[in-house]
Structure 1
């Protein structure tokens, strides 16, 4: 919550010895720069814990990242799938040996099913046809406990497979974190880009995505200045930061972490709360497609805040 702080300059009145003095000028109120409100230590702890509980609830939901069990990239032409080992996409045991065929022609994909396969799309019976890539519920295919849908990453098109019965979800044991610390809730400033710019962001797929970057976040730790380039997921939403630091690999996830930062106040102030730094989906599954920190976002310091490494990742 941002609360505007006002500084009031009061006028002084003096008594006149004879004639009445002219009315005093009204006191002038000078608007101060808006400043993000710093929570107390106890409220910071409570707010961070509540945020993390919600984050864990999303992660462990039936549609969360822990339910990922497969990712298959479509070739042009026919891509057969089912549980038999000679399929192009081998599905988990318990599914039919031959489910059907995905046929890709450019960016168009159609599905042809084997007779009798009880598939649904968007919760309704589906016997085959053209497929969308919105990743929305209307395009989700279901077979038993499996849920799968198309994704598009640049020129690549893939089939993402989820299962709420996935071992990763059933065996989840929580994510260790550093103790919540007010020292890692840092006020900084935002330097907007003078012209629209694209930030090249590498991915685990070996590709580079051009993402909209509004400017640079500047902050200090122990008197040393650091800079991070965020990206925008929407015009009005928070900034999204993909960063690395010197805790990566040994103490935190090796490929960096994510952080959301509220958009700046009118005078350019921002708060980077590293207590809310969290692991990307790739920290939990080899089937995720994650962005990696751009070179300029690899901080030469240890950010001992937020989520630590999960398991062997």
Structure 2
């Protein structure tokens, strides 16, 4: 799906503001009462959710395994560890791995002499390469895995390695303490007609995504609004948002949040589960950015904080 690809698009370096000392912690804001829960159950549920999130992030196929992202030009694109290649692969790989040839949306791969690769886990001697971003279209060379990702009219080659330093050196993500005050009940205002949300990306492009309507909630009596997008017709709402902690305490380019579909017009926004996009961990990811209307003029001191120097 297009959003999943953006998030796997997963190549993009983001410039983020330097980490500054956080201000003194304010008193928890008075918010709209959430659905009934107990502090102990919310703490346990949030910690379990975050452990699962970290397991996905640090898996062999997770975002921390990214080691390269290259954009194909029309015609031949040579790859290998030699400096004269179009795509310079990590040290330790053959100087010449092969050539990706692009003709419009069609791509073929020709391995270099003596190089043994796999495609979908089976021996591959060359031929067409798809852009499905799935196992069947993944090429393998030792521990390396690489595959094509379409982004608009661009085609990228994403490279992963489970031995990536980012994965091996991962030390966890700091978070704010779990706080029931940031589990907020709001209302859902459905869009009367099909709506597209213009979502900018770190690539400098804009992606038009389906949006079902608007999430409306209050903090200290002030109303705020967020426009979610849909990854599937029946799945949860996906929210790409920014807030004022992006300046000094959370990732500078914003965070993500899933919200369950409304029940009787009501939704629960649990900001304890706000999490960093892939670009917070790798310069080789391609992420959506918060639309202008999703940049909140308040500090959401909940969920994941900034990771490292990102």
Q: Same fold (TM over 0.5)?
A: yes
Q: 2 CA distance for matches of 1:250 and 1:36?
A: 28
Q: 2 CA distance for matches of 1:249 and 1:144?
A: 41
2:53 corresponds to which of 55, 62, 65: 55
Task: Give 1:220-235 correspondences, 5 Å limit.
Answer: 220-235=218-233
What residue is the counterpart of 1:275 in the other structure? 272
Q: 2 CA distance for matches of 1:308 and 1:63?
A: 23
**3-state SS of 1:54 partner:** helix
The one-character-per-residue Cα deviations of 1:45-83 (angstroms, maximum 9, x if unpaired) are 000000000000000000000000000000011100000
What residue is the counterpart of 1:307 in the other structure? 304
Q: 2 CA distance for matches of 1:118 and 1:129?
A: 14
1:210 corresponds to which of 208, 211, 214: 208
Unaligned segments of structure 1, at least 5 residues: 1-34
What residue is the counterpart of 2:179 in the other structure? 181
Task: Report the TM-score when normalising by structure 2.
Answer: 0.89
Q: 2 CA distance for matches of 1:40 and 1:163?
A: 42
Larger radius of gyration: 1
Q: In the superposition, relative to structure 1, how do residues 36 and 220 fare at CA in structure 2: closer, same or farther (>3 Å)?
A: closer
Please say if residues 192 and 215 of structure 1, whose CA atoms lie closer than 8 Å, have aligned partners that are also in contact: yes
Please say if residues 36 and 269 of structure 1, whose CA atoms lie closer than 8 Å, have aligned partners that are also in contact: no
Q: CA deviation at 1:36?
A: 7.7
Please say if residues 249 and 255 of structure 1, whose CA atoms lie closer than 8 Å, have aligned partners that are also in contact: no
What residue is the counterpart of 1:255 in the other structure? 253
**3-state SS of 1:97 partner:** coil
1:39 corresponds to which of 37, 46, 51: 37
Q: CA deviation at 1:38?
A: 2.0
Q: 2 CA distance for matches of 1:281 and 1:67?
A: 11
The one-character-per-residue Cα deviations of 1:262-282 (angstroms, maximum 9, x if unpaired) are 0000x2100000000000000
Q: CA deviation at 1:118?
A: 1.1
**3-state SS of 1:56 partner:** helix
Higher relative contact order (CA 8 A, sep 6+): 2
Q: CA deviation at 1:37?
A: 4.1
Q: 2 CA distance for matches of 1:186 and 1:173?
A: 30
Please say if residues 188 and 214 of structure 2, whose CA atoms lie closer than 8 Å, have aligned partners that are also in contact: yes
What residue is the counterpart of 1:159 in the other structure? 157
Q: CA deviation at 1:115?
A: 1.7
**3-state SS of 1:247 partner:** helix
Please say if residues 64 and 282 of structure 2, whose CA atoms lie closer than 8 Å, have aligned partners that are also in contact: yes
1:111 corresponds to which of 104, 109, 112: 109
Q: 1 CA distance for matches of 2:91 and 2:296?
A: 44
Task: Give 1:280-295 correspondences, 5 Å limit.
Answer: 280-295=277-292
Q: CA deviation at 1:249?
A: 3.4
**3-state SS of 1:61 partner:** coil
Please say if residues 251 and 307 of structure 2, whose CA atoms lie closer than 8 Å, have aligned partners that are also in contact: yes
What residue is the counterpart of 1:64 in the other structure? 62
Aligned residue pair count:
278
